[in-house]
Amino acid sequence: MRATVHIMLKTGVLDPQGKAIGHALEGLGFDGVGEVRQGKVIELEVPDGTDEARVKDMCEKLLANPVIEDYKIEIAG
């Protein structure tokens, strides 16, 4: 089965990478683009029967930095 983890910086945490993308879009002529934020998505092949708690454990220990990042877990059969 497959687990997908979406990791984004928490609201209020400065995102220089997102800012850079926003400026570059403006430079290319895409006007009116407001806030841009960049995050990560991690897709994992996990053993059958893996529950959300186990993936959460992976996030807390390795995948995300819970001090500055929020994460969202999706598990698909």
Which residues in this chain contact a copy of itself in the complex, by CB under 8 A? Answer: 6, 8, 18, 21-22, 24-25, 28, 30-47, 54, 57-58, 61-63
- The amino acid that residue 57 corresponds to is D
Least distance to a copy of itself, CB of residue 67, Å = 19
In the numeric block, the tokens 């800012």 are attached to 19
- Strand pairing partners for 52? none
Least distance to a copy of itself, CB of residue 2, Å = 9
Distance (Å, whole) CA 11 – CA 25: 22
Choose between 44 and 73: whose C-beta lies nearer to a copy of itself: 44
